[in-house]
Each structure stands twice: as C-alpha cells, then as structure tokens.
Chain A
C-alpha cells in the first residue's frame, strides 16, 4: 500500500482506469483512494480554502506551482493542501466548506470548493467515469439535522459531474478497511474534524451507527479560545508535533491535551450511552475489537489514552483489543473503496 499523497494535488496521480474509487469527504480532509493491481493508493487534500486578493502575478505563480485555485472577480481562492500555507502567510483563518461533518451552511462557497477539489483529484485518476463510493457521516446521537441535505447535495454534485455514486457510512468504511481479520465484526471509529463517527458491524452488516459532534475542530476552537492562537495554528501544532506523553514542552500542548481528554471522554460517554440504550445490539458471543482512525486519532499515544479512559468506564460491550488503523488518515477512503470493489463485478 502506498503512502497517502500529502503534497500537491498534481502529484502521485493514478494513470490507468479504475472501475471504482473510494472517496472520504471529511470535514478536515478529502481523501481519494484507488486500487492499482494489488496496491491501494491515495490522494489527500485539505478540505479548506483561503481567498487572496487577485493579482495577475499571483495567478501566474499559482498556475506555475500547480496550486489549485478558483478565480473570482477580485480574489483568488486557494484550495486544498496549499490553503494553510497561504492562511499562515496572510495571518487569516482558513475557510471551511464543511463543519460538524456536513456542508457548512454559513459558507456560501462550500459546494463549489468541494467540487473543485474533487474534480481536480478525479481528473488525475484518468478513469473515465468510475463509480465513486463516498463516505457520509452517521446521524448524531441527538438527531439527523443536516444529514439528509448533506447527502442529497453530494449526490447531486456527483450527478452533475457525471459520476455514478454510492454512499457508505463512515464508521462502516473504517470496519471494512481494518477489520478483515474478524470478518468485519467490531467497532470502527473515525475521529475526524467535525465528528467522531462510530459503527458497530457484525459480519460486515452495520448493526448500529451514530456520530458524536465533538472532534478535532472542537479541540482547535477550544484551545484557540484559551490561548488566543488562531485555530489554524492550533491544528498545525496538533497534527505536526503533539503527542500524549505527559510531558508537554509548551502551554499550547498542555491545553491541547486537556481538550483531547475532553473529546475522548465525550466519545466514550456517547458510545456507552448509545450501546447501553440501543435496541439494535447484535448478540455478540465474544469480545470484539475497536479500531480508531482519522486525523484526530493520529497523534502518538492517542490509542493508549483512549484505552485507558475506556477501561475506566463501565463499557457495556466486551472489547478484545483497541487498535489504531494501519493508516488513520486514509482508512475511511480505503474502506469505501473496499466496499466498492466487493460490490463490483469480478
């Protein structure tokens, strides 16, 4: 399996046709996956953008560098992985097309931006019109606000782009990506930017799924409000050099750890309540594994911290092990692809 592409959108493109693609449309990142002979490959872009004042020189520079952007009347919109660099340069917050796992209702540019990022990624696959399996979040524990609109809008967007599309629950995609050794039985958790998606599957059949509306963005915003930093900077520190080791070099790390604990505890409490109260619990004859994925689960020590807090809880399900996805950033996209490959004709 190749490493996910973290660089420019143009890099690492697939050059052959693929009948199926997996796409994780997350609050924080959009990850495209495809299978080339025996290898899974990925292309990942930040689901964010920054608007910079228009000048011809800037436009030419962006084109030369292959940086994805949209040209508006008075501004250039920089998309994807390049957005943080420009945001840092201009000392402005990045704008986010999605929030809390769904399209950002306060962002008028959300759909055009996502479409632009996805279209650019798709072109690189040179795949004709593959069927695209996209991940969608589960309903939050308290309701289904926004999910129907989010899913319908994405479907419409892909229909306009002439791509056949199939949706798959995000947590289930994690199960398909990581739990083949238990015949896709276990709990898949995707800790993303806006939501933590949870799915309990039994022999590949999703039994119960939900989301908890506290994830990476919650940590960024909470830390930023305490330290006075921009959320974007908090996110960069969090993703680049934060780890749970009890010895934090800066106050920022210490505060991040506090809100990480808050997020993990909320996730565990949500799972405990949900699994205790649901009537959709399959009969489990033996303990099942939990697999953690997503950018928010990536810092070193996250798995251990999660396990410690979970074991301290009277959790209603017997857990055999808690493991981190082989590649937390791409597990959802890979799972969506695996679902597509399994459904496609041999």
Chain B
C-alpha cells in the first residue's frame, strides 16, 4: 500500500529507461529504481472495505435521519438543500463497462450525432478553424511535439463563466447564459467541446482542427513531450467554475458528468488516447514569464477522474518541472489539493534525482532547462512566422491568420 502511489512514476521510469541504449544498462536501471509488484498490479480486492463503506453509509444516513427528527419530511428537506457538505467523489475508480469498450456512431444528421454509448453531440455551433498538422521542433537534440494530426490527449477545462443557480425557476436564465457562452467560445475557437449545464455536448471546433484552449502548456507521456498543446490535444470544457478544495464544484451537474464520461469514452476509443494523457488545464498550463506552473487553475484540485473512467492523474509528476525547470508558488499550492501535491512532490524528488545523476547542482541544472524552454519558444515562433509567410503568400486575400494557437488562449 505504501508503495502503491509510486505507480504514477512508472511512465517516468519508462521514459528514462527508453533513453538508455544498452539493454543491460536499461534493465539494470529499471531493476534498481525499485519497481514493486504492488505498483504494477491492480489493487487486491479487500472484502472488508466494502463492509466498512456500507457501514459508514448506514451510519451517516442514520445520523442524518435522527438529527432531522426522524421524519420523512425532514429527510426530504435535507436532501433538497442545495448547500452543505457532500461526500467527496474524487476517489471513486469507476472502470469502463462492457458497453463502453466499443463505441460507434449510430446516427448522424443535421445538427446532431448519436453514439452507441448514449453520447449525443450538438453540431450546429461548430466553427471550423485551422487543420491540425504534424509538427515538431528540436532543441538541444530534444524533440518536442507542437502539432499532431491525431489527438494525443485531452485537456479538461472549466469555462469560469457566470453561473446561475441550477433551479427550475432559473430555467430561462440558464438557457440564455448557456447560449451566450456557446456563441462566445465558438467565435474564439476556444475548445473542441463544451458541455452545458444540462449535459448537452456541443462541438465547438472540429476534432481535426486546432482549438485555442491551452496556449502555453507542457505535457509528456512515455514517448513524447508536447509543448503548447493547442494543436496536439483536444480541449473539453464544462460550463462551470473552479472551486478550490477537495469537493466537486457545486456548479457541476450530474448531467454534465454523465455527458463528460461518454464523450471521453468515445474520444479515447476513437483516437487510442492514453489515459495518462487525459489531464486538466491546471496540470499543463505554464507561465513562461515567471517560470511557474499553473498559469490557469481550472480543475486544479477536484476533477473527478474516477467518474470519467480514468485513474487519478493528479498524482502524475509535472513534465514542465522535470523537462524545463518550472516551479510552483503558494498560489498554485492553495488552488490545488492533496492529490496534486503528491504529484508535485514526485516532480521535485525526480528533478533532484535527475540533477544528482548528472552530477549537476540543482540550480544550474534548472537554469539549463529554462534556457531550453526559451529556445523551444523561439523555435515555435520561428516556425509560426514561416508558416504565416507561406500562408500569406498562398492566400491572396491575406486574411488574419493567427499563430497556431501557440499564444492564443482563453484568458
């Protein structure tokens, strides 16, 4: 149990091992980093935990019942109260059901697509942007992906927009605010998908096009490092606002969660997206001016990975810290939760180990990594400028071609 959390380091070990050319040295590395069976294997079922959870639920229900005076009416009133503590939904690992392992497009007609897992996508607000391209840059012999035709992952966002209370009396306002929001994000190509508060999934930008959702950002998986994810990751946003702490934001509705699960399910199967590449905006966004991670903090602490059928990706180390020497400050730590802190601890430890293994003082090593990131940004700018020149030459109208989302992002 004590070592289980280290499973989130496995992709990092995998990546490091891949850089060792000699097979014996590679095996030695993997065997000395201390991978243990409990990190590789799924958690053994513990029957007593089910009894414990059941007992706890019964106890909580009983307490509520007696505190309310024991009347059915009092219980109904407690249940309908919009505010108040709710049990955390963060740690529920809810794997895909059999029906979710194969998803297909059932019907496609004007304004709507229907999928076999219950997903319905509204397509009437879709605004084409720029096609995604395969693009990489190379800095100090390191290759970074800046564009990918096939989406490499998904970044989860919140709209941080005005939230009317989710009440039947507010139905008209809820609809009107939702409509304004869709028009706004579509006009700016902010996300690929927006899920409104009634759980309707709106395609804002076609999947094969770039959306402006995660401008300055960094992520990595076992084989590739991604810089500026607009052209390599899909963006999904919930009409909601961030709430610091461990509890789900009150603005997120059950309908949204259901829709999000079906959408992620469909996209992962369609593109073979790795589960570790499904992360939140707060995990990937960086501030290139002060070299701090978490320039945006949407879904910084309470994204329900389990309910979406994903592992708790908050525990993953930060590639921005490890690859480019980024750090974090108290503001970010306040916005995030304990789960993310473990990921940050992992990152700090791995960074120190990496510097030590190279025989470099940590400060000097960090400076070099920061220099590499600045070089990467320069390379991206140069690539964008070259593309813009090509586009301008080809396009006699000279319409305002925006950089490939490298710096454009919803603020």
Q: With contacts A203-B13, A342-B31 known, is A286 near B42, CB below 8 A?
A: no
In the bound complex, do residue A339 and residue B42 qualify as a contact, i.e. CB atoms below 8 Å apart?
no
Q: With contacts A341-B24, A342-B24 known, is A204 near B41, CB below 8 A?
A: no
Q: B18, B36, B41, B311: which has the most chain A beta carbons within 10 Å? A: B41
Chain B nearest Cβ from A196, distance in angstroms? 23
Residue in B closest to A339 when the chains form the complex, CB atoms: B27
Bound Cα distance from A280 to B38, whole angstroms: 10
Interface 1/0s, chain B 252-280, versus A by CB < 8 A? 00000000000000000000101110000
Q: A185, A204, A207, A338: which has the most chain B beta carbons within 10 Å? A: A204
Q: Which residues of A contact B42 (CB under 8 A)?
A: 279-283
Interface size in chain A (residues, C-beta < 8 A): 22
In the bound complex, do residue B27 and residue A180 qualify as a contact, i.e. CB atoms below 8 Å apart?
yes
Chain A nearest Cβ from B277, distance in angstroms? 9
Interface 1/0s, chain B 32-48, versus A by CB < 8 A? 00011100111011000
Bound Cα distance from A213 to B26, whole angstroms: 33
Residue in A closest to B23 when the chains form the complex, CB atoms: A180
Bound Cα distance from A164 to B35, whole angstroms: 26
In the bound complex, do residue A283 and residue B311 qualify as a contact, i.e. CB atoms below 8 Å apart?
yes
Q: Which residues of A contact B24 (CB under 8 A)?
A: 338, 341-342
A343 at the interface (CB under 8 A from B): yes
Q: Which residues of A contact B247 (CB under 8 A)?
A: none
In the bound complex, do residue B30 and residue A183 qualify as a contact, i.e. CB atoms below 8 Å apart?
yes
Q: A185, A205, A207, A339: which has the most chain B beta carbons within 10 Å? A: A205
Interface 1/0s, chain B 209-227, versus A by CB < 8 A? 0000000000000100000
Bound Cα distance from A279 to B13, whole angstroms: 24
In the bound complex, do residue B41 and residue A285 qualify as a contact, i.e. CB atoms below 8 Å apart?
no
Q: Which residues of A contact B275 (CB under 8 A)?
A: 285
B17 at the interface (CB under 8 A from A): yes
Bound Cα distance from A341 to B30, whole angstroms: 13
In the bound complex, do residue A207 and residue B27 qualify as a contact, i.e. CB atoms below 8 Å apart?
no
Q: Which residues of A contact B23 (CB under 8 A)?
A: 180, 338
Partner of B30, one of A204, A207, A279, A285: A204
Q: Which residues of B contact A339 (CB under 8 A)?
A: 27
Chain A nearest Cβ from B61, distance in angstroms? 32
Residue in B closest to A180 when the chains form the complex, CB atoms: B23
B10 at the interface (CB under 8 A from A): yes
Q: With contacts A283-B311, A342-B27 known, is A203 near B274, CB below 8 A?
A: no
Which residues A109-133 have CB closer than 8 A to chain B?
none
B161 at the interface (CB under 8 A from A): no
Bound Cα distance from A176 to B41, whole angstroms: 19
Chain B nearest Cβ from A136, distance in angstroms? 19
Bound Cα distance from A176 to B30, whole angstroms: 12
Interface 1/0s, chain A 183-212, versus B by CB < 8 A? 111000000000000000011110100000
B28 at the interface (CB under 8 A from A): yes
Chain A nearest Cβ from B250, distance in angstroms? 32
In the bound complex, do residue A205 and residue B35 qualify as a contact, i.e. CB atoms below 8 Å apart?
yes
Residue in A closest to B221 when the chains form the complex, CB atoms: A285
B14 at the interface (CB under 8 A from A): yes
Chain B nearest Cβ from A319, distance in angstroms? 14
Chain A nearest Cβ from B360, distance in angstroms? 21
Chain A nearest Cβ from B253, distance in angstroms? 30
In the bound complex, do residue B30 and residue A184 qualify as a contact, i.e. CB atoms below 8 Å apart?
yes
Q: With contacts A203-B35, A285-B275, A286-B274 known, is A176 near B40, CB below 8 A?
A: no
Partner of A207, one of B13, B40, B272: B40
Bound Cα distance from A203 to B222, whole angstroms: 12
Interface 1/0s, chain A 62-99, versus B by CB < 8 A? 00000000000000000000000000000000000000
Residue in B closest to A178 when the chains form the complex, CB atoms: B23
In the bound complex, do residue B37 and residue A204 qualify as a contact, i.e. CB atoms below 8 Å apart?
no
Q: With contacts A286-B274, A338-B27 known, is A204 near B44, CB below 8 A?
A: no
Bound Cα distance from A180 to B27, whole angstroms: 8
Which residues A268-286 have CB closer than 8 A to chain B?
279-283, 285-286
Q: With contacts A180-B23, A279-B42, A282-B42 known, is A203 near B276, CB below 8 A?
A: no
Partner of A343, one of B25, B31, B41, B276: B31
Q: Which residues of A contact B25 (CB under 8 A)?
A: 342
In the bound complex, do residue B41 and residue A282 qualify as a contact, i.e. CB atoms below 8 Å apart?
yes
Residue in B closest to A208 when the chains form the complex, CB atoms: B41
Bound Cα distance from A342 to B28, whole angstroms: 5
Q: With contacts A183-B18, A285-B274, A285-B276 known, is A202 near B26, CB below 8 A?
A: no
Q: Which residues of A contact B40 (CB under 8 A)?
A: 202-203, 205, 207, 282
Which residues A303-346 have CB closer than 8 A to chain B?
338-339, 341-343
Chain B nearest Cβ from A289, distance in angstroms? 15
Q: Which residues of B contact A204 (CB under 8 A)?
A: 27, 30-31, 35
Q: Which residues of B contact A341 (CB under 8 A)?
A: 24, 28
Chain B nearest Cβ from A111, distance in angstroms? 32
Bound Cα distance from A338 to B24, whole angstroms: 6
Partner of B41, one of A180, A184, A207: A207
Interface 1/0s, chain B 1-21, versus A by CB < 8 A? 000000000100110011000
Q: Which residues of B contact A184 (CB under 8 A)?
A: 26-27, 30
Interface 1/0s, chain B 327-364, versus A by CB < 8 A? 00000000000000000000000000000000000000
Chain B nearest Cβ from A287, distance in angstroms? 9
In the bound complex, do residue A180 and residue B26 qualify as a contact, i.e. CB atoms below 8 Å apart?
yes
Q: A279, A280, A283: which has the most chain B beta carbons within 10 Å? A: A283
Q: Which residues of B contact A283 (CB under 8 A)?
A: 42, 311
Q: Which 5 residue pairs are nearest across A and B when measured between Cβ atoms?
A: A180-B23, A342-B27, A342-B28, A204-B30, A341-B24
> What are 11 A-B interface contacts by the 8 Å CB criterion?
A203-B14, A205-B37, A279-B44, A280-B41, A280-B42, A282-B40, A282-B41, A283-B311, A286-B272, A342-B24, A343-B31
Other A-B pairs, 14, CB within 8 Å; known A183-B17, A203-B17: A180-B23, A183-B30, A184-B26, A203-B10, A205-B35, A205-B36, A280-B41, A280-B42, A281-B41, A282-B42, A283-B42, A338-B23, A342-B31, A343-B28
